[in-house]
Amino acid sequence: MAALRRMLHLPSLMMGTCRPFAGSLADSCLADRCLWDRLHAQPRLGTVPTFDWFFGYEEVQGLLLPLLQEAQAASPLRVLDVGCGTSSLCTGLYTKSPHPVDVLGVDFSPVAVAHMNSLLEGGPGQTPLCPGHPASSLHFMHADAQNLGAVASSGSFQLLLDKGTWDAVARGGMPRAYQLLSECLRVLNPQGTLIQFSDEDPDVRLPCLEQGSHGWTVTVQELGPFRGITYFAYLIQGSH
């Protein structure tokens, strides 16, 4: 969890109602919305409108674009990013994918969702985002990834993205992480793909995913290193 430690060791997060960090991560805070509200409200450096922990869209487009190409039977391809935060993953797919995509980013932080909607629509001094394909669309919604009932019906997305969300939710207890996985698989098309991006070692993550995704195929690909850290893409796939 080196990347999590690097990102969250911020003095400004020691204030407020979250329990303080004592030189390391306070596990309960990672599953607490107030921490993420405070983080997403932090001023951004320079003119960069998004904040990525782990990495951004550019680092994983080589993995994502072939998956979009393979799934062109569904057009536009429906993509769900759970725990999207203010990452560039959704916006990168929307603005740079040459394939038509219908992207939805959900997050339980209203601060993050408001920021991303402002970025999409073009807030003060900003230009609205333009799609990379004329049939592409992008939306953001305030929702809890552990309960997606108000977001989508079963089997309605061809691609699900989880960049560090399992890592954060698991800090509140493994039952929450398994609930997250269950909801992701519920809304995933039986021929679709769920990708979890993490720096957690496969010896730890794979047994958990295999336990929680019976009937699905679980594989792993190494990514990076990015800024000195090796990451992993855990792919959970149905029949193709």
More confident call, 26 vs 178: 178
Tens of pLDDT, residues 122-155: 877 788 999 999 999 999 999 999 999 988 999 9
Which backbone phi and psi does 81 adopt, to 5 degrees? -110, 110
User: What pLDDT is attached to residue 47?
Assistant: 58
Query: Tokens 């929702």 identify what position?
Result: 143
Mean per-residue pLDDT for 43-56? 71
Confidence class for position 3, pLDDT limits 50, 70, 90:
low
pLDDT, residue 124, reads 74
Residue 172 pLDDT level (bands cut at 50, 70, 90) = confident
Pick the more confident residue, 228 or 74: 228
Q: DSSP state, 26?
A: -
Tell me which of 29 and 178 has the higher pLDDT: 178
| Domains along the chain with CATH numbers | 74-236 (3.40.50.150)
Position 170 pLDDT exceeds 60 = yes
Asked whether the beta carbons of 222 and 232 are under 8 A apart, the reply is yes
Instruction: Give the pLDDT confidence score for residue 11 in this predicted structure.
Output: 33
Query: Residue 22 pLDDT more than 50?
Result: no
- Residue-wise pLDDT tens digits, 77-136: 999 999 999 999 999 999 999 999 999 999 999 999 999 999 999 877 788 999 999 999
Looking at residues 163-169, what average pLDDT do you find?
A: 94
30 pLDDT band, cuts 50/70/90, is low
Q: Looking at residues 37-41, what average pLDDT do you find?
A: 61
Given a cut of 70, whether residue 206 has pLDDT beyond it is: yes
24 compared with 215, residue with greater pLDDT: 215
Provide the residue type at 149 as one letter.
G
Question: What length does the chain have?
Answer: 240
> For residue 12, is pLDDT > 90?
no
Instruction: Kindly state the average pLDDT of the residues 24-36.
Output: 52
Which amino acid is present at 50? T
Q: Distance (Å, rounded) from C-alpha 49 to C-alpha 62? A: 23
Q: Is 22 helix (H, G, I), strand (E, B) or coil?
A: coil
Q: Which two tokens stand for residue 235?
A: 């792919």
Task: Give pLDDT, residue 40.
Answer: 59
How many Å apart are CA 200 and CA 211, to the nearest integer? 16
What are the φ and ψ backbone dihedral angles of 224, each rounded to 5 degrees? 90, -155
Q: Are 178 and 209 in contact (CB under 8 A)?
A: no
pLDDT of 38 > 80? The answer is: no
Give the torsion sign (CA, 4, 208, 150, 162): positive
- Residue 232: CA count within 13 A, CB half-sphere: 18
Indicate the average pLDDT of the chain. 84
